């Protein structure tokens, strides 16, 4: 029996990712000047126009159109023939303050005297919204991430690199990748229930590689396909995973000249599977970009990944999916649960108890312990928020493995 799983990624020039980068660049700029600023910003981009809207409460001032134009330029929309240009695109901004009804729940951690805030108790900061968050980790890769999404991200990163460095001539900013991995399935019973969703085996080979690379009109597909396989695919995918049966679909329509915002409307938060685990793990529906850290869509998902990764790094499970849920205005999570898909060294219930002993899931304490009020978010707006060894991300650290072992030992007597 053969078992497959596919994940996709997109380049920084994809319209959805362009929006994510702009909104996270806005967040970063505010955090530089006002670490306690409240931000909930969305962007929409289409042919020649970008709309930026949302809620911001801050004491600082930033030039939002200038930030947007700088990102568009950096991504590569620098020629009029692309149909979208950083200097001539219309930028429309509609920003208002955060709703007082939302602020009332989040700001319960502030103590006031005579109308003036005298103390902030982060332990009492309320969740910025209701919701359920998932975190995941597994032993498939050194990053403790599923292999399909890791390879898909690396292909898109490499595609952007060969474009910017001129290694492959004639490329434009837009692009996508998709990787299908075949898994070993040694025992048929491993394909039942939850384990089926997580393949019940180890990566065996890459079945299919898909690349869509925007290009100049005079680029010939046969030459482009050869170059992308040689300069993008082979440097990224380990040789042992490619074989004679691996299929390659490079610009499958035969032409990809018109792309980016000229061809496709982009929107913040529309690539949640790309941002997380490539569909390999469940997702609560909340996106990351453009949101400050009081929004548990962001801080709660970072925390869930942090916990799941530490469980797997501690070798307490080979696979771990953690769920945490919140209600607006309340610091304490409603529930924390663990699913190890039968790979845990102890029961999932015991793992959940150990997790609650070691980790503090209150939003304010997540912000404090992971040092999240820093301008570090534009860099993860592309190519995934998780499994990024080239970045020093606090939620990717595995510094709680010893404490987890101590908690498990204590609970098992």
What pLDDT is recorded for position 194? 47
- DSSP track, 124-162: GPPPSS-EEEEEEEESSSTTSS-HHHHHHHHHHHHHHHH
pLDDT tens for the chain, 413 residues long, are: 689 999 999 999 999 999 999 999 999 999 999 999 999 999 999 999 999 999 999 999 999 999 999 999 999 999 999 999 999 999 999 999 876 655 555 665 555 445 555 456 777 888 878 899 999 999 999 999 999 999 999 999 999 999 999 999 999 999 999 999 999 975 444 444 445 455 558 999 999 999 999 999 999 999 999 999 999 999 999 999 999 999 999 999 999 999 999 999 999 999 999 999 999 999 999 999 999 999 999 999 999 999 999 999 999 999 999 999 999 888 899 999 999 999 999 999 999 999 999 999 999 999 999 999 999 999 999 999 999 999 999 999 999 999 999 999 999 98
Phi, psi (5° rounding) for residue 10?
-135, 155
What pLDDT is recorded for position 190? 42
Contact between 11 and 214 under an 8 Å Cβ cutoff? The reply is: no
Phi, psi (5° rounding) for residue 173?
-70, -30
**Is residue 302 classed exposed, middle or buried when 0-12, 13-18 and 19+ CB atoms within 10 A define those classes?**
buried
What pLDDT is recorded for position 126? 80
What pLDDT is recorded for position 249? 97
Q: Is 348 left (phi over 0), alpha (psi -120 to 50) or beta?
A: alpha
Domains, the chain: 3-10+147-259 (3.30.300.10), 131-137+268-283+294-412 (3.30.300.10)
Alpha carbon distance 54, 63 (integer Å) = 15
Place of tokens 């663990």: 338
Residues in Cβ contact with 390 at an 8 Å cutoff, skipping those fewer than 6 apart: none
Strand partners, 286: none
Element (H, E) at 326: strand 319-326
- Return the closest-CA partner of residue 180 out of 253, 273, 271, 246: 246
Q: Is 215 helix (H, G, I), strand (E, B) or coil?
A: strand
171-183 and 90-96 strand pairing: unpaired
Alpha carbon distance 309, 138 (integer Å) = 8
Contact between 110 and 120 under an 8 Å Cβ cutoff? The reply is: yes
Strand partners, 247: 208
- Cβ atoms within 10 Å of 172's Cβ, excluding its own: 24
Burial 236-256 (b: 16+ CB within 10 A, else e): bbeeebbeeebeeebbeeeeb
What pLDDT is recorded for position 97? 84
What pLDDT is recorded for position 110? 53
What is the gyration radius of the CA atoms in the chain, in angstroms? 22
Alpha carbon distance 367, 356 (integer Å) = 17
Sign of CA dihedral 204, 205, 208, 209: positive
Q: Is 188 helix (H, G, I), strand (E, B) or coil?
A: helix
Contact between 284 and 275 under an 8 Å Cβ cutoff? The reply is: no
Q: Torsion over CA of 124, 130, 132 and 133, rounded to 10 degrees?
A: -50
What pLDDT is recorded for position 178? 98
For residue 214 the two structure tokens come to 């925007």
């Amino acid at each position: 029996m053969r078992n497959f799983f596919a994940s996709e990624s997109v380049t920084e020039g994809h319209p959805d990712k362009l929006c994510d980068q702009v909104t996270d660049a806005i967040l970063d700029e505010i955090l530089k000047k006002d670490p306690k600023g409240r931000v909930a910003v969305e962007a929409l981009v289409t042919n020649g126009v970008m709309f930026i809207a949302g809620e911001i409460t801050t004491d600082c001032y930033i030039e939002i159109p200038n930030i947007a134009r700088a990102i568009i330029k950096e991504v590569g929309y620098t020629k009029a023939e692309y149909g979208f240009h950083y200097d001539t695109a219309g930028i429309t901004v509609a920003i208002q303050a955060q709703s007082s009804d939302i602020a009332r729940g989040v700001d319960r951690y502030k103590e006031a005297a005579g109308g003036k805030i005298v103390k902030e108790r982060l332990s009492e900061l309320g969740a910025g919204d209701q919701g359920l968050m998932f975190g995941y980790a597994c032993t498939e890769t050194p990053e403790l991430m599923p292999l399909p999404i890791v390879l898909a991200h690396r292909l898109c990163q490499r595609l952007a690199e060969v474009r910017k460095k001129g290694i492959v001539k004639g490329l434009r900013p837009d692009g996508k990748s998709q990787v299908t991995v075949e898994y070993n399935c040694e025992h048929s019973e491993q394909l039942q229930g939850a384990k089926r969703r997580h393949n019940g085996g180890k990566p065996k080979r890459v079945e299919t590689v898909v690349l869509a690379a925007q290009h100049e009109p005079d680029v010939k597909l046969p030459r482009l396909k050869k170059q992308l396989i040689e300069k993008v695919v082979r440097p990224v995918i380990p040789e042992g995973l490619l074989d004679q049966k691996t299929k390659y679909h490079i610009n499958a329509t035969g032409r990809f000249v018109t792309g980016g915002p000229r061809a496709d409307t982009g929107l913040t938060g529309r690539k949640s599977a790309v941002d997380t685990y490539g569909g390999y793990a469940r997702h609560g529906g909340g996106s990351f970009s453009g949101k400050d850290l009081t929004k548990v869509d962001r801080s709660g998902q970072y925390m869930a990944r942090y916990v799941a990764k530490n469980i797997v790094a501690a070798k307490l499970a080979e696979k771990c999916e953690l769920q945490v849920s919140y209600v607006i205005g309340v610091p304490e999570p409603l529930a924390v649960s663990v699913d190890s898909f039968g790979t845990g060294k102890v029961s999932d219930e015991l793992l959940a108890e150990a997790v609650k002993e070691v980790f503090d899931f209150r939003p304010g304490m997540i912000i404090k312990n992971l040092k999240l009020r820093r301008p570090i978010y534009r860099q993860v707006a592309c190519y995934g928020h998780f499994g990024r060894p080239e970045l020093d991300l606090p939620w990717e650290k595995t510094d709680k493995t010893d404490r987890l072992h101590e908690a498990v030992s204590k609970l098992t007597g």
